[in-house]
Structure 1
Amino acid sequence: MLNASTNLLGFCLVIITSLKISKFNHSSYLDEFTVGAILCLMISCAFSFLAIRTNKEKLSDKLENIADILFFVALLCISLAVCIVSIDVV
């Protein structure tokens, strides 16, 4: 989970940077979904890391469940961003 979250976080950061550099302001929702994904992935990474580092099993399970939910929300945001780009390209 931690590995996938960090990889997707890097991907989203590249997307938002390229949007800012190219001044692509055609759809503001694209920025919002990407930033939403970035925030969810950052928090997911933090909770996943804390779940690995804690010695308490119940706390570890709770943190990992929260990280899973946030990861899924981030995937939804990324999917919506891809749909926006695909609709604008086509």
Structure 2
Amino acid sequence: MKKTAPHILNASTNLLGFCLIIITSLKIAKLSYHFYLDEFTIGAIFCLMISCALSFLAIKSKKERVSNRLENIADILFFTALICISLVVCILSIDVV
């Protein structure tokens, strides 16, 4: 099986920074009336944080089976976070236009 944990870790940390910029921008722009934007962004943040941790543990794990399981869970959480981020971007772009 091809190891993707380092790629997941790299992409998750980058997207985590992106989500923190989004949540900060929402607070600065006072778009708190769009509570679902906060919810999706915070959901993405939690998924990405857990994905980062699991992919790091998958890299450090000595057991192949444990490493594969952690990598699969990290991959699922990463994809879930991508969906949340996509929803936030779509909602923001619709609101701006």
- What TM-score do the two structures reach when normalised by structure 1? 0.96
Post-superposition Cα deviations, 1:28-85, rounded to whole Å, max 9, x if no partner, equal 1111100000000000000000000010000000000000000000000000001110
**Counterpart code for 1:41:** L
Cα distance in 1 between the residues matched to 2:27 and 2:96? 18
- Per the TM alignment, residue 27 of structure 1 is displaced from its structure 2 partner at its CA by 1.3
* Correspondence for 1:57: 64
Residue 81 of structure 1 is matched in structure 2 by 88
User: How far is 1:87 from its partner?
Assistant: 1.1
One-letter amino acid of the counterpart of residue 3, structure 1: N
Number of the residue aligned with 2:74: 67
Segments of 4+ moved more than 2 angstroms: none
Matched, 1:16 2:23: yes
Count of residue correspondences: 90
What is the aligned-residue identity percentage? 76
Unaligned ranges ≥5, structure 2: 1-7
Partner of 2:4: none
Aligned residue for 1:43? 50
How far off its partner does 1:26 sit?
3.5
Q: Which runs of 5+ in 1 are unaligned?
A: none
Distance in 2 separating the partners of 1:28 and 1:67: 27
In 2, Cα distance between the equivalents of 1:13 and 1:45? Answer: 15
Equivalent AA in structure 1 for residue 10 of structure 2: N
Give the whole-Å Cα distance in 1 for the aligned partners of 2:23 and 2:78. Answer: 18
Q: TM-score, normalised by structure 2?
A: 0.89
